Amino acid sequence: MSENSLSEGQQAPLFCLPDQDGKEICLKDLKGKWIVLYFYPRDNTAGCTKEAQDFTSLKAAFEDEGAMILGVSRDSMASHQKFIEKKELTITLLSDMEITVHKLYDVWRLKKFMGKESMGTVRTTFLIDTEGNITNIWDNVKTKDHAQNVLEKLRSMKK
């Protein structure tokens, strides 16, 4: 599997996507905040649920650090609403059904599963600073302790 083509230190690609309520969220409007932008394959699957619940449980700690959490998948706004309700999530989920932003962030890549190759979302997290620069990239994320690791990295970056 190839590595992400974006690199730490570069400007995060700008985008606008609808959240679970249809409200447009634009990266350029979030300057001055730290952004945890994480891409995940699908609502209501085991790993994605665990990741979303972990980010939800740490949301207050991220907010204390001036950070906003944005989860992005190809799911529809309606799917996101159901996912949030069912799993009692409090984070913002963005809908990228056209995979435009997935491609912009190079997380739409060839994946191998049980010997078959297909295009899909590579679970990836970007930490974006108050100036809109990418400070950290976690590529091909394993969900265990991931949200906590991102929070610790954010805290160390702010020192």
User: CB within 8 A of 46, min separation 6: which ones?
Assistant: none
Q: Which pLDDT does position 1 carry in this prediction?
A: 43
pLDDT block averages, 10 residues each, the chain of length 159: 82 98 97 97 95 98 97 98 98 98 96 89 96 96 95 93
Q: Which pLDDT does position 3 carry in this prediction?
A: 74
CA angle 132, 3, 142 (to 5 degrees): 85
Q: Which pLDDT does position 159 carry in this prediction?
A: 80
Reported pTM: 0.95
Q: Which pLDDT does position 148 carry in this prediction?
A: 97
Chain length of the chain: 159
- In the chain, domain spans: 17-23+32-158
Q: How far apart are CA 142 and CA 108, in angstroms?
A: 17
Q: Which pLDDT does position 2 carry in this prediction?
A: 56
What is the assigned CATH class of domain 17-23+32-158? Answer: alpha beta
> Given 17, 37, 48, 127, which residue is catalytic?
48
- Is there a catalytic annotation at residue 16? no
Q: How far apart are CA 115 and CA 120, in angstroms?
A: 15
